Amino acid sequence: MIHAYNEQWLGVIQPKVAYMFEFAVLKEALDIDDFADKFAKSEVARSLETADCILALGKSSIELLYLVLGKEPHNIEATDIPTPEFWVGWVLAYAQWHFNRTYADLIKAIKPSHLLNYYFPYHEMDIRQTMDLIAEYLQPICPLKKIREKQGYSQSQLANISGIPLRSIRAYEQGSVDIAKAQAETLYWLSECLGCAIEDLIK
């Protein structure tokens, strides 16, 4: 599995996300799902997803929190004992690195308020068991979508250059039609336009 960034930065990013969730809920009195939505749409989330040096690594969890909230930062005392909210942020940060999925993907698959329900007993388990749990909620990303987005094409653009109907491309990416069962000619033109092997589209 290809992770989101070099593992050496995980130990820096994970506590930052964990404290952001704890502070947002316990110090700012925000609903955990509302904060998660704000966070997932923010530039902060995008910088953390790639271990960006300036934002992700260069600012404290408090500074990042208030960037998400659009407020002036002020001092916040951390709790002595990690809270369930801290654990949720900790798990989401690890899952983002582990699965190489966006925070938006993760919170769409499992809301933080729902993840809180697993605090007992998962906070005492190995993190890999929690990843197995989250994997059950995550829908696999169609290889076609990954490759198309990497090449910078919209679905419509790919349909235009490949001659494959837009509705077919959408169906493959949404998983309603198995791309592995597409006609050989369809797979050929998609692979030609995307500069990849046919095998890359169906693995």
pLDDT-derived band at 90 (thresholds 50, 70, 90) equals very high
Within a domain: 90: yes
Q: How do residues 15-50 score in pLDDT, each as one tens digit? A: 999 999 999 999 999 999 999 999 999 999 999 999
Average confidence (pLDDT) over 146-156:
93
Within a domain: 2: no
pLDDT at 51 over 70: yes
Note down the domain range covering 24. Answer: 7-137
Predicted TM-score (pTM) above 0.85? no
Domain identity same for 128 and 76 = yes
Question: CB-hemisphere CA count at 13 Å for 182?
Answer: 26
Average confidence (pLDDT) over 125-145:
90
Rg of the chain in Å (alpha carbons)? 19
User: Which two structure tokens, joined as six digits, stand for 102?
Assistant: 């966006």
Q: Any idea what DSSP says for residue 50?
A: T
Count of domains observed in the chain: 2
The structure tokens 């506590």 sit at: 15
Within a domain: 37: yes
